[in-house]
Amino acid sequence: MPGLEDLYREIILDHHRNPRNRGELPPPAPHAVGHNPLCGDEIDVYLQVENDMVVDVKVGGQGCSISQSSASMMSQAVKGKPIAEVRALVRRFKGMMSIPDEDGNPIEPDPNVKLGDLEALQGVVKFPVRIKCATLSWNTLLDALEQSNA
């Protein structure tokens, strides 16, 4: 079986210990709650969207090291980015997690979208049960974006 070092990379553990952008934003900030029905984990994503730009993002809730670190890295990666770039990043991340597109086809990596630290989560693919943990905050981000009508 793949070693745990593929999963628990140091950067992941760092985000788990010191999660970035924790907190909430007051209403009417778009806010979505994501549930992992498998384990009961919950993630809150709050957005501040101005002029098609994610000006601020806050993350709340509880979860395992993978879901929490993924949420933390996600918040860093999308903060200050235009919505279009955020959506492209979500797509790129899901592609890395081996999640197919709406038509069931594999998502080809877009070379223009840089994953940066998020590449540390690549090892999650070797532990299929954990893919849901890694993608929870990203799906919740999409829900929050829907609410912002962006």
Partner 1 sequence: MTAPHSLDVAAIKQQFPLLQRELDGAPLVYLDSANTSQKPQVVIDAMSQFMEHSYAPINRSAYRLAAEATDAFEGARTKVQRFINAKRAHEIVFTKNATESLNLVAYSWGRANLQRGDVVVLTHMEHHANIVPWHMLVEERGIELRWVPLTADGQLDLRTLPQLLDGAKVFSFTAMSNVLGTITPVRQLCDAAHAAGALAIVDGCQYVPHNVTDVQAWDADFMAFSSHKMCGPSGVGVLWGREALLDAMPPFLGGGNMIADVRLDGFTTAELPAKFEAGTPPIVEVVGMGAAVDFLTDLGMANIRQHELEIAGYAMRSLTERFGPDIQLHGPCNVEVRGATFSFGFRGIHPHDLSQVLDQTNVCVRAGHHCAKPLMRLLGVNATARASFYLYNDTTDVDVLADALDSASDIFAF
Interacting residues with partner 1 (CB under 8 A): 1, 4, 7-8, 13, 17, 38-42, 62-66, 68, 127, 130, 133
For 61, list phi and psi in degrees, rounded to 5. Answer: 100, -175
- Is residue 89 within 8 A of residue 107, CB to CB? The reply is no
CA atoms within 13 A on the CB side of 119: 6
| Shortest separation between residue 110's beta carbon and partner 1, angstroms | 30
Closest to 84 in 3D by CA, of 50, 48, 108, 54: 54
The DSSP code for 105 is P
- CB-wise, 40 or 104, nearer to partner 1? 40
| Shortest separation between residue 56's beta carbon and partner 1, angstroms | 26
- CB-wise, 65 or 147, nearer to partner 1? 65
- CB-wise, 13 or 84, nearer to partner 1? 13
| Shortest separation between residue 106's beta carbon and partner 1, angstroms | 26
- What is the distance between the alpha carbons of residues 124 and 135, in angstroms, rounded to a whole number? 10
| Shortest separation between residue 147's beta carbon and partner 1, angstroms | 24
- CB-wise, 27 or 40, nearer to partner 1? 40
Closest to 133 in 3D by CA, of 9, 18, 43: 43
